[in-house]
Amino acid sequence: RKEVEQDPGPFNVPEGATVAFNCTYSNSASQSFFWYRQDCRKEPKLLMSVYSSGNEDGRFTAQLNRASQYISLLIRDSKLSDSATYLCVVNRGNNDMRFGAGTRLTVKP
């Protein structure tokens, strides 16, 4: 079993839709969590950190459930520019990061 699991998708949604991605992690000692986005043939870019209390940044909301070892990302009012692969990243401690394989999102007109 992979340490960080994501639904690979692809998710194909129309503009304006709301879409949610899920991620589970197996190492209960993991300390911090992040969502990155990666555009085709580009490097991963930090989208947002995920805090225990949940956090929101514009149309993006991240949630963490430590008991279930589960992280989510919600995108509201999807834009064409949101099309990318979304990577769930877990810090196991000492800045030892583990990546999920990513969930591919395509937003269509």
Partner 1 sequence: EAGVTQFPSHSVIEKGQTVTLRCDPISGHDNLYWYRRVMGKEIKFLLHFVKESKQDESGMPNNRFLAERTGGTYSTLKVQPAELEDSGVYFCASSRVREPYEQYFGPGTRLTVT
2 vs 108, which CB is nearer to partner 1?
2
What are the Cα distances from residue 31, in Å, to 2, 51, 75, 109?
Answer: 18, 10, 24, 38
1 vs 43, which CB is nearer to partner 1?
43
With contacts defined by CB under 8 A, name the span among 12-20, 55-63, 69-77, 94-102 that binds partner 1: 94-102
Q: Judged by CB under 8 A, which of 1, 14, 40, 43 binds partner 1? A: 43
With contacts defined by CB under 8 A, name the span among 14-22, 62-70, 75-83, 96-104 that binds partner 1: 96-104
User: Shortest CA distance to 8 belongs to which of 73, 105, 103, 106?
Assistant: 103
For β-strands 103-108 and 11-14, DSSP reports them as: parallel
The half-sphere exposure of 101 on its side-chain side, counting CA atoms within 13 A, is 9
25 vs 78, which CB is nearer to partner 1?
25
Rule CB under 8 A: say whether 74 interacts with partner 1.
Answer: no
